[in-house]
């Protein structure tokens, strides 16, 4: 038999259709503008990051370079200070050698004077029988010693005393032959009295006083900030008086509000005092003076002492050129590195000015007239 086609069961077909899931909706595709903007934003971020890294690298490089330059400058200043200290040390050594030479010369002069004294004692014994010869020999020896002191140390008072003693010794004798000698002594005495007086001892004492005060002088580099003044206590407000002499009522504030206000006032005043100590404005012509280390400050004070000692030695040896140069250098160091506003520094500057006004360029005369008169008289038969 022929198979007939079977029709689908409508109930079964409906169930199958219900079990089949609906087809998913198609997702919208991204637009062309959004696709193009994403790489651009990424590129901009990379560029900004690269710029920031480059700026950071440049800033760090500049800081390192500035630090290197500052270190180089400070090392150069330290080398210059060491070189100057070495120069001063060599100058002091040379001055010490010169002083040793002068001391040796003075010792030789002293030995010569001692030998002359011995010779004088021998002459006393040989000429004990001749009073006039003995007196003239003594006067000659005294005048010779005074002339040596006058030329070496500028001892004008000692030379005057020697001339006066010689004239007094000759005045005890009534011989007219001594008139020529006394006339020469009077002439030399007038020459010495006409000289301007130089208080070498007083000047040396002033320099010693300045040298003793160098360690206590305040420097610009070790100045400390002033402490803040204590806060002033506010006086309690008096109650207002109204008509009839009766006090007006005062508004009472709450205790916690008053405590809060007091705390705020105290904290604000303390903060303001701290802020005022953070910034200080000073006018300094030599900024290098503020950057001295304690070691450099110590050597600076020692160099100033050496300058003053050299000036004192030049004063005693009557070397006016070295005396003026050392005093000028000491005054410049005081103005440059020390606080000239301090009273002690001003006192030291005043003492140095007083010493500097003295004149050492005085040509000392000789006692040749008196010595020649005595020797000529002794040479006569």
Q: Is the pLDDT of residue 20 over 90?
A: no
**336 or 1, which is more confident?**
336
Least confident of 137-141, 268-272, 305-309, 357-361: 357-361
Q: Is 203 exposed, middle or buried (0-12, 13-18, 19+ CB in 10 A)?
A: buried
Q: Say what the pLDDT of residue 245 is.
A: 53
Nearest alpha carbon to residue 370 among 185, 189, 186, 147: 185
Mark 138-167 as b/e (b = at least 16 C-beta within 10 Å).
bbbbbbbbbbbbbeeebbbeebbebbeebb
User: Running DSSP on this structure, what letter comes out for residue 247?
Assistant: B
CA angle in degrees (0–180, nearest 5) for 351-301-278: 100
* Mean predicted confidence (pLDDT) in 188-209: 78
What are the backbone dihedrals phi and psi of residue 129, each rounded to the nearest 5 degrees, phi first? -80, -15
Is 282's pLDDT higher than 70? no
**Band of pLDDT at residue 86, cut at 50, 70 and 90:** confident
pLDDT score of 309: 92
pLDDT at 225 over 80: no
| 3-state SS class at 241 | strand
- The pLDDT, as a whole number, for residue 320 is 78
Can you give the pLDDT at residue 305?
Answer: 92
Among 17-31, 95-109, 186-200, 315-329, which stretch is predicted with the lowest mean pLDDT? Answer: 17-31
């Amino acid at each position: 038999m022929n198979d007939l086609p079977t029709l689908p069961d409508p109930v079964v077909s409906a169930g199958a259709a219900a079990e089949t899931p609906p087809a998913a909706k198609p997702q919208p595709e991204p637009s062309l503008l959004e696709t193009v903007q994403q790489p651009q934003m990424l590129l901009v971020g990379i560029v900004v990051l690269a710029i920031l890294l480059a700026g950071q690298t440049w800033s760090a490089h500049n800081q390192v370079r500035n630090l290197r330059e500052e270190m180089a400058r400070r090392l150069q200043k330290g080398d210059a200070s060491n070189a100057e200290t070495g120069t001063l040390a060599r100058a002091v050594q040379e001055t010490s050698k010169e002083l040793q030479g002068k001391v040796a010369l003075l010792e030789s002069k002293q030995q010569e004077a001692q030998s002359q004294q011995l010779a004088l004692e021998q002459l006393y014994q040989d000429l004990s029988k001749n009073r006039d010869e003995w007196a003239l020999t003594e006067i000659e020896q005294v005048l010779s010693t005074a002339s040596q002191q006058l030329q070496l140390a500028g001892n004008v008072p000692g030379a005057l005393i020697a001339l006066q003693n010689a004239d007094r010794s000759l005045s005890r004798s009534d011989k007219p032959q001594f008139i020529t000698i006394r006339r020469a002594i009077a002439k030399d005495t007038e020459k010495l009295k006409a000289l301007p007086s130089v208080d070498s001892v007083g000047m040396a004492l002033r320099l010693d006083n300045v040298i003793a005060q160098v360690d206590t002088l305040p420097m610009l580099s070790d100045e400390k900030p002033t402490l803040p003044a204590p806060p002033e206590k506010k006086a309690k407000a008096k109650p207002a008086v109204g008509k009839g002499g009766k006090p007006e009522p005062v508004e009472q504030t709450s205790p916690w509000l008053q405590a809060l206000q007091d705390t705020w006032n105290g904290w604000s005043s303390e903060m303001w005092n701290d802020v005022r100590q953070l910034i200080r404005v000073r006018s300094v012509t030599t900024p290098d003076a503020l950057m001295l280390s304690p070691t450099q400050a110590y050597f600076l004070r020692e160099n100033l002492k050496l300058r003053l000692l050299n000036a004192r030695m030049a004063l005693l040896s009557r070397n006016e050129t070295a005396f003026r140069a050392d005093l000028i250098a000491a005054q410049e160091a005081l103005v440059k590195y020390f606080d000239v506003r301090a009273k002690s520094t001003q006192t030291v500057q005043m003492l140095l000015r007083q010493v500097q006004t003295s004149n050492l360029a005085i040509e000392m005369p000789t006692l040749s007239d008196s010595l020649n008169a005595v020797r000529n008289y002794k040479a006569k038969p």
